[in-house]
Structures are given as structure tokens and as C-alpha cells.
A and B are shown apart, each in its own frame.
Chain A
């Protein structure tokens, strides 16, 4: 890393030199009459500086982003090749091991049984019959399957250990063992292996363990690392110098430096606005990609995900058995989200709307000058603070109040407290959007109503609100979209139990809560449980996108009408 910093500094110096040289060259080319030049001399300088610095810096940045993984891949590929004899021996051992073939047979048998049980469970579900027995037997099968798979990996580990000691006790042997270990590891363990090896070799952080194989792997990385480091540095310097000398020769009196520079600038600006598109693309693709992997893991039972009534991803023990127990039915999450959103809207819409009406139609400008910032403060409070407020103040208050009123089962984490606080959070959102649309209603309409002898409230209710209605609907849609996507308040205040209930005093869970639970849980990334978070996020994204587009359309129409 050190060298890259020095190279970057050197490049900056070179870029500055490029500017000076460019300007000088322009003067030289003009032969004492700078007014002959097509552009101002400094443009030549900027243009030359651009060609000196930018390509080299891009190269350096590319190295920074990909260098580590390139080194890892190359070094480990080398080690894996050296481990080829071990791998071959391991494969033959596996094929010959009697225990393994017995276990594999048993697993095949169990999977066939599970297939049968599953289809019977489906049938029973369709016919509305008793499903508990099937579920239980399916569960037993799953547990047994797990046990067998555990045994298999034990046998594999044993064989691997016996193979690994065959490698000679020298550097070559260590390298082969490292390649072998890496070859056998799961993706997560591979990452850990690489991190540890790098820690030992380059002192990046602390290694979680220390072994000769790890040291060998680290040593194998070192030459690759050196090579990339120096070659990227050298290449960057060469590009900078090359750009400098080549472009310098291009500078003549007629060279259109300003136009070229402006072309580059406007392309850069275009690229910047393209980042927004790339972000959307990244979101859509990553969500889609991971969701597809999730749906594949649950045998493409998308309808069960969307319409299933039971959500208990914790049951899933391993990726290939999940979903088959039907634990990924997201309806309770949708229902919980809807319930909390409803409560929030019941708070935010009346309060926000009336506040907006009062502020825009009744309040004196002094009152407005005080009240508006207060509302804006509500909007600026971080959601985690609202979550804390819901958890420690509102939640206990609602529980105590409910108990006092005779509802004994009240809990602190309820849909009501989360919804209430979320409503408070959304008040300024509703009020400022409504304020905008109410102000967009032309004064002539109000004048018309007043001239008819309408009172203020009559003018508002009969004329202003109907005229602003589409805009207000748009504002409410946006508020709903925000409520659905809100995370921290519900994570802290709504609870985690996937209850399918319409009772706001019970605890419910939402799409966002489950995404947080699934991702922050210590499951490995590849499991269906973790992947299901992406499917949930896809639903969330689609839902909010739809609401947002609808809202923008409605508001757009409204604006067109009065402009």
C-alpha cells in the first residue's frame, strides 16, 4: 500500500507539472503572440494536466480496488495446482470409503422419503386435512438428514486429515497443504483463510490462528503482491509521462484546447449523473440475483413465499432443506407492515393535514415562522431516536394504559406503539407536502369562494381541499411508502414475533424488521435464510417504487392543472 501512496503523490506532482508545461508550450507555439492561440493558455495547461494525471490515477484506483483479490486468486490458484496430487488422492479415497457410500445411500433414501412426505403434506394442505403429523415426520426426517450430513463431513474431515499428512514436511508440503485446505473450504472459510494468511504475511490486522499452511499461503501471496504493486506503480508513472509527452507534441496554435477540455468535463458530468442509474441498476440486479438464488433454494415456490401464512426462517437448518417445511410464508410480515402503516397514517394524516391547513390558511406569519421549524425538527430527528422513544417511553405507557383498561396481555413492543411513533415521525412529511399542494391552489379560487360569502373553513373544505385532493393523495402515498420502508422504529419497538393479527396491542413484525434480523443474524451468507432477506427487500423495493411512481404521477397531474 505504501508505494501506491507515494506513486499517487508523485502523480499529483506530475499533473501540476503537466499544467505548467502545457501552458508554456502554448506560449512557445504562439511564438510570442498569445492572441493567435485558439484558447487561453491555461486551457492548454489544464488539458495536458488531465492527460497526465487522470489515466494513471484511474489505473491506480483500479489496482486499489481489485489488487487484493487478484493477488489472492493467483496465489491460491498456484497453490491449488501444487495440491493436485493431494486432491486426486482425496477424491479416490472418498470414492472408495465404505462409510461414505453407506451414508450417501442413506441420505438418498431419506430424501426420497422426504419427497413423499412433502407431497402428502401438500395434498393434506390442499384438502384442508390434518397436517401436524406430516409436518412432524418431515421435521424428523430433516433432523436425521442433518445428522447424516454431519457424519459425512466428519468422515470427509478425517480422510482429509489423513491425506494432508502425506505431504512432505517442508515448504513444498506446506504449500500443497495450504492449497488443499483452501480447495476444500466453503466460501466463508475461504475468506477467513485468506484474511488470516494476509494478516500473517502483510500484518493487515490480526490473524485468528497461525499454522504452517497459512504462513506458506501468505508467502505464496508475497511475490504476486510485489509484482502487482511495482508493475501498477511503474505502469501508472509510464502512462503519466507518456500522456505528458504525447499530448505536449499535439499543442499547436490551432489546437482547440478549450473545446476538448469542455468535452471531457461534460462527459465527466454525464458520467456522474449516470451513477444514479448505476445505483438503481445495482439495486435491481443485486436484489433480483439474490432473490432468484433464494427462490431456487426453496424450489421456486414463489407463491408460498408471497401467500404463505407461516414465517419462521429459524427452523431452516440448512439451505437444501429449507422452504420445504413451508416456513417462508411472508404474509404475516406484509400484514404486520400494513397494520403499523395504518396506525401511523391514522396519526400522521389528520395531524399533518390539519397542521398544514392551519399554517397555510389561518396562521399569522409570526406563528408560521415558529411552528414550521418545529415541524421541521420533528423531521430531522434520526429514526433511531424515535425507536428509543417508542421502546422506552411510548411502549411502556401504552402497555400500562392497556393493562389499566383491563387488557391483561398487553406487551411493550406493540404495533400500536411502533405505529404511533412512526406516525409522529411522518407528521412533518405529510404536512410539508400538503402545505406545498395547498399553496399551489390558485388564490383566485379562494377569492371566488370568499366573494360568495363563504367562511374560511367553507372555502377550505369546499374549494381548496377538493382542488388540492390529488396532490394530497400523492402526499399520502409518499408517506405510506416511507412508512413501509421505515426500519429502525419497528426494529426497536414492534417486536419480532411473526403474528398474523389485526390487534394493534400485540407485537407484530414487518418486512424491514425481518430483513434486519436475517442479515444481522450470524448465519452464513449462502443460506436460504439470509437470502430470503433479499427477496423481502425486492418486495419492499417494488412496493415503494410503485407507490412512489403513482404518487409522482398524481402530483404531476395536479401541477399541470394549475400551471
Chain B
């Protein structure tokens, strides 16, 4: 079996074993216990414990500086790239400890993709941008397989029709919304299990935002998505689960509808009604 075939097989295996279409009986994908992050002497996140279900969209909301992005970045250990960041506590993906010394962040990040606030396509062609992940991880045996992966990924990201005839143009030549979808296509090209999105629409206009939100909803079918967002409307639109962070702590977590219609915590109530934020 070539890596490509494994890739295809992997995708189907997951759908069979992980997806429980029955409401309320999600399988837990990501489970954290007491996650704390320090930047130097400054504590950015204190003791967050949460269980995130598979094949759903979970959104993190909260005022600026509440630690939601920091938490997101610890899930695929992107905080490793920051010199003075220290992460403690436990983060389990499918029961495996992420912060274990034996876990290679390279492998982890192949499983947990990430999309950033500002679209950051590499200074390469559209094709090379999407092909980059499969290339470095050796997922395609030949050019045909790679072409297939690129096409599938771009299709899943809903970008194929717009760029099919100009794959050899630089990724930076696309519009902002297109760039963000390109980056999403790049992330799903390695078929990750979890996709982290850090305010994916904050740099986009409303039309592009709507397009991305649609895409997120489509992706839910195959991937576990975690989204940090500033827009409560967006959280309400795209996510099934919502977590509210405040001052580095997780205040409230539950099904989106509940959080927005019947928050249990006063701070959540204040935030979603716009008293502060």
C-alpha cells in the first residue's frame, strides 16, 4: 500500500469509526486537563480542562487577551516556537499525550492542522502551496497522486473552480478570501484529524467570511474543527460547541445554543450581551 492509498484509506477508516451521527453522543477527540501556559513570568492561561468532541465545530470566544489563542496554539504545540513559553498540564488527542517528550511535534502537526488569522500562503505557486504538506511528509508516490491530492484538497476548500486554470501562479496573487481558502486547502492536504483556526475571518470582508463559514460547516463532516473567533454571531452560526474564556480561564463550556440562550455564568451573560468585550 502506498502512502497515498494509506491516506485515502485513513480518511475512510475515520469516518466509520469516529463519526456518531446521533446527537449528543460525540466521541471525545481532544481532552485537556489543567493546561497552564506561562510567557516568561506572565501567566497567560491557568488550568484549562475541556473535552472537545470529534467531527464538530467548537468555537472559543472571549475578550482580547483572555488566552483563547494561546490555548489553541498549545494543542498543536505551536507555542514551542516561542522562546519563553512554558506549557504544563495534559492535552490528549485520541488519548495520546501531546506534551509527551516522545511525541514529535512534526508528527503531531501533521495530525493537527492550523489556519491563522492573516492568510499566509508561502511565496510559491498555488499548486506548490497545497502540495507542500504531502511533499514533506512523503504522502504521494508520484506526480499523479500529488495532482490528485492537490485537486481534492482544493475542491474540499471550494477553491478548485476558481484556480484550476492558474495553479502555477503565486499564491500571493489571490484575493484575501481566496488566500484563506488556499491556506485551508493546504492544511487539509495532509488529511489532519483536527484543524485549528485562529480567527480565520478577521482579515476578510463579509462575503469572503460567509464563504469560509460555509466551508467550515462542510469540513465538519470529516474533521474536528476548533475555531477562535471574536464574532459571537460567527460562533453561533458555525459551531456546535462553544467555550467562553475570560482572563486566562475557561468560564463556561457547552452546546452553542445553550451558551447563547441560557448562559449559566454571569460573565458569559455580560459578554454575549455586549456589556464588556
Contact = CB atoms under 8 A, between A and B. Distances in A.
Q: Do A and B share a direct contact in the complex (Cβ within 8 angstroms)? A: yes
B54 interface: no
B78 A448 contact: no
A125 interface: no
A440 to B, nearest CB: 13
A117 to B, nearest CB: 63
Contacts of B106: 453-455
A463 B81 contact: no
Interface string B87-115: 00000000000000000011111100111
B23 interface: no
A280 interface: no
B81 A452 contact: no
Contacts of A467: 122-123
Contacts of A165: none
A446 interface: yes
A262 interface: no
Contacts of B137: 453
A132 B237 CA distance: 93
Interface string A422-456: 00000000000000000000101111111111110
Contacts of A445: 120, 122-123
Interface in A374-396: none
Nearest to A467: B123
A454 B132 CA distance: 9
A462 B76 CA distance: 21
Contacts of A463: 122-123
B37 interface: no
A466 B78 CA distance: 22
B146 interface: no
Interface in A2-46: none
A452 B133 contact: yes
A447 B116 contact: yes
Contacts of A466: 122-124
A467 B124 CA distance: 9
A447 B123 contact: no
Looking at chain A's contact residues, is the secondary structure mostly helix, strand, loop, or mixed? helix
Given A365-B83, A445-B120, A466-B123, A451 B136 contact: no
B183 A448 contact: yes
B190 interface: yes
Interface residues of B, number: 28
Interface string B39-74: 000000000000000000000000000000000000
Contacts, number: 70
B241 interface: no
B187 interface: yes
Given A365-B83, A450-B78, A451-B78, A444 B133 contact: no
Given A365-B83, A458-B136, A449 B118 contact: no
B186 interface: yes
A462 B132 contact: yes
B138 to A, nearest CB: 11
A462 B123 CA distance: 10
Nearest to B122: A463
B123 A451 contact: no
Nearest to A469: B123
Interface string B116-130: 101011111000000
A30 B25 CA distance: 93
A452 B123 contact: no
Contacts of B105: 450, 453
Nearest to A443: B81
A512 to B, nearest CB: 38
Contacts of B108: 453
B184 to A, nearest CB: 12
Interface string A257-299: 0000000000000000000000000000000000000000000
A454 B81 contact: no
A453 B120 CA distance: 15
Nearest to B81: A450
Interface of A: 364-365, 442, 444-455, 458, 462-463, 466-467
Given A448-B186, A466-B124, A467-B123, 4 more contacts: A444-B118, A448-B120, A451-B115, A453-B107
27 contacts: A364-B83, A444-B118, A445-B122, A446-B81, A447-B78, A447-B120, A448-B116, A448-B122, A448-B186, A451-B76, A451-B187, A452-B110, A452-B186, A452-B190, A453-B106, A453-B107, A453-B110, A453-B133, A453-B136, A453-B137, A454-B136, A462-B122, A462-B132, A462-B136, A463-B122, A466-B122, A466-B123
